[in-house]
Amino acid sequence: MATDEILEGEGLPHSAAEAPGMPQLDFSSFPNQIFWLVITLIVIYFVLSRIALPRIGSVLAERSGTITNDIAAAEDYKQKAVEAEEAYNKALADARAEAGQIVANTKADIQKDLDKAIAQADAEIAARAAEGEKAIAAIRESAKDSAATVAKDIAKDIVAAVAPGKIDAKSVTAAVTAKMKG
Amino acid sequence: MAEEAHGADEGGLVFHPMDQFIIKPLFGDGPVGMFTITNATLWMALAVVCVIALLVLGTRKRAIIPSRTQSVAELAYGFIYKMVEDVAGKDGVKYFPYIMTLFIFIVFSNFLGLIPGSFTTTSHIAVTAVMAMGVFLFVTILGFVKHGAGFLSLFWISSAPLALRPILALIEIISYFVRPVSHSIRLAGNMMAGHAVIKVFAAFAPLVLISSGIGLLVTPLSIIAITAIYALEVLVSFIQAYVFTILTCVYLKDALHPHH
């Protein structure tokens, strides 16, 4: 029953009576369609070529320009950062070198002072030693003199005691001096 | 899809898959003259409105960071611009506005035609043939203007053996003159066929109201089929606009560089 109805609905004579086959081949509508199509295409063409396409083109160009500029600026900043890092490292190295210099200088200064002080102390020690030696020598000298005087006196006394008046004091002194030198 | 001009027939299913393509006056019921405002006029005008909305209003702000509509407009621009540049070469870029006009009109007509109850202007051979003939005449005249008689070397394939060349030339000439035919029928045929098939399935859909027996099976199947064909048609709408445009670019390339 259903099949019959489908067939009836599909029935060619029935629909062909009302619809003229393909409306696409109804040539009477062609001038109308062609006229409105041409109008439509002309309107779209003018809207596109006068407004839309130049605008979109400029927006795209502007965007790519902005992007290029931004990338260039970023590159610039990167370069600056690298330079800043280099400057920092350089400053650090300089400071380190300077500190080393200062340490060396200070060490040298201290060494110099030290050497000076040691030299001074040495000189003083030497001076003192010389002084002491001189004093010892003087003492020795005076002791020798005293010993000679004592020896001469004792010899005079002995000579006077042994043989008074026979030998004068001068020859005794000379004899003692000669004896002591020998 | 289209308004049912015939109304329900006597209880049976209604099969008028081609009625959606009938051109009729929008106001009144007279004959369709050249300047009559018809449903075709309406849907072409709507295509113009959509073009303006997308490409003019959508890019109004000229934003560096684009809005959604502006992105779509830029995408369409870049898509066609690159196509023209790649296919027709640098010197084809001059003709980019013409090609963009064709593409944007076809793509909007195709998609507007997918709105249920709408009218598909590009399903009419009159519309596509005018565009295809326009392209054909334009590239042929351009070829002769640019290269004079040298344009004929397009048909004289110098890389082929000499003996074959006359035969190839004949074939090339025939294929050259068939171009506008295939160019226009491809688009109109695709649009018409898809819409007609949807309409046929749509006619089967109310079967359950007539016969609850077989209808329980056929009705869901036709609804699924309508959905599937509709998805396919969305794809076809874009692809056919793309194909029409890229073929235009190819023909333009032949006119600009006829030497193989």
ipTM here: 0.89
Q: Which among A5, A40, A45 has the least Cβ separation from residue B12?
A: A5
B9: helix, coil or strand?
coil
More confident: A51 or B5: A51
Query: B3, B6, B60, B77: best mutation site toward chain A, by most A Cβ within 10 Å?
Result: B77
Does this model's pTM top 0.80? My answer is: no
- Which residues are CB-neighbours of A58 under 8 A, at least 6 positions away? B62
pLDDT of residue B8: 42
Q: Which among A22, A53, A60 has the least Cβ separation from residue B100?
A: A53
* pLDDT at A10 exceeding the cut of 60: no
Rounded to whole angstroms, the Cα distance separating A23 from A33 reads 12
Cα B97 → chain centroid: 17
CA distance A13 to chain B (A): 12
**Alpha carbon of B171 to those of A63, A163, B132, B259: distances in Å?**
48, 179, 20, 17
Q: What's the burial of B208, exposed, middle or buried (CB within 10 Å: 0-12/13-18/19+)?
A: middle
Q: Which among A48, A51, A58 has the least Cβ separation from residue B100?
A: A48
Strands (E), chain B: none
* pLDDT at A132 exceeding the cut of 60: yes
Long-range CB contacts (< 8 A, 24+ apart) of B147-152?
A: B147/B258, B150/B258, B150/B259, B151/B255, B151/B258, B152/B258
**E strand or H helix at B209:** helix B207-210
pLDDT of residue A2: 40
Taking the alpha carbons of A117, A119, A122, A127 in that order, is the dihedral positive or negative? Answer: negative
Contact B55 A56 (CB under 8 A): yes
A 111-130 residues with CB < 8 A to B:
none
The residue among A98, A46, A76, A36 whose CA lies nearest residue B52 is A46
pLDDT of residue A182: 64
Q: Which of chain B's residues have a Cβ under 8 Å away from the Cβ of A2? A: 207, 210-211, 213-215
Mean pLDDT, chain A, rounded, equals: 85
pLDDT of residue B73: 94
Mean pLDDT on A79-93: 96
pLDDT of residue A4: 41
Report DSSP state, residue B226.
H
Rounded to whole angstroms, the Cα distance separating A15 from A19 reads 6
Amino acid at B52: I
Query: pLDDT per position in chain B (260 positions), as tens?
Result: 444 444 444 456 777 888 889 888 988 888 888 888 999 999 999 999 999 999 999 999 888 889 999 999 999 999 999 999 999 999 999 999 999 999 999 999 999 999 998 999 999 999 999 999 999 999 999 999 999 888 988 888 888 888 889 999 999 999 999 999 999 999 999 999 999 999 999 988 888 888 778 888 889 999 999 999 999 999 999 999 999 999 999 999 999 998 76
A22 dihedral zone (left: phi>0; alpha: psi -120 to 50; beta): beta
Lowest-confidence pick of A89-93, A112-116, A138-142, B81-85:
A138-142
* pLDDT at A14 exceeding the cut of 80: no
Buried b (16+ CB within 10 A) or exposed e, B30-58: eebeeebebbbbebbebbbebbbebbbeb
pLDDT of residue B7: 42
